Structure 1
């Protein structure tokens, strides 16, 4: 897959809750700087982390609004809407940065206001 296909698939799988397949989009030695989870290294570390995601959110959507792809890099501005099983709603604007190497995400970072997530994370 080229960079655009990887990024499109990232959002499609996230929005359909296919977290194991979503993790497969990342390189085995991926590095992620995630606004809430911090620095995450390795696909299997990410996979373990994501196992708890369905327990946290009853519904989750990350809808791209603007995308720029340049070779092996992409930046996406998107809107996140999530609802916990307790009915807490989270809404946030996000910017995601992707570096895709060999058809897999080798580096990922996201940037967003963490305040909307406080009710869910307890921070």
Structure 2
């Protein structure tokens, strides 16, 4: 699958809460440096972590604003708007960096302001 199509699906699946399909976009041996959760290694680990997303958020949208694709690498600027399970708003600008092999995400790192996400620990 072309890189841009993987990215389109990444955001479509996240925004529709299809977390299993979202996890399927990652290679089995993927690595993610996630600003809130730390380093995540392996698709199975990621999949088990994502089972709790529906409990953390009453609503969740990660809207991509800009894609920059260069071969097997990409960067995406996006905006998260969400509500915690208790209804508190969450909004943050995000920068994601991706690497791909054979149509799957092998590495991802995200960068954003962590302050808006503190409402999740206060809920």
2:58 is the alignment partner of 1:54: no
Q: What stretches of structure 1 of length at least 5 have no aligned partner?
A: none
Q: Which runs of 4+ in 1 moved over 3 A?
A: none
Structure 1 residues 1-123: aligned runs within 5 Å: 1-122=1-122
CA distance in 2 between counterparts of 1:72 and 1:53 reads 28
Q: How many matched pairs?
A: 122
Q: What stretches of structure 2 of length at least 5 have no aligned partner?
A: none
CA distance in 2 between counterparts of 1:96 and 1:79 reads 11
Note the alpha carbon deviations across 1:69-97, whole angstroms, 9 max, x for none.
00111100000011122111100000001
CA distance in 1 between counterparts of 2:121 and 2:9 reads 27
Q: TM-score, normalised by structure 1?
A: 0.97
What is the CA distance between 1:98 and its match in structure 2?
Answer: 0.7
8 Å CA contact 2:84, 2:119 repeated in 1:
no
What is the CA distance between 1:119 and its match in structure 2?
Answer: 1.3
CA distance in 1 between counterparts of 2:114 and 2:18 reads 24
CA distance in 1 between counterparts of 2:11 and 2:4 reads 11
What is the CA distance between 1:58 and its match in structure 2?
Answer: 1.1
Q: SS at 2:7's partner residue? A: helix
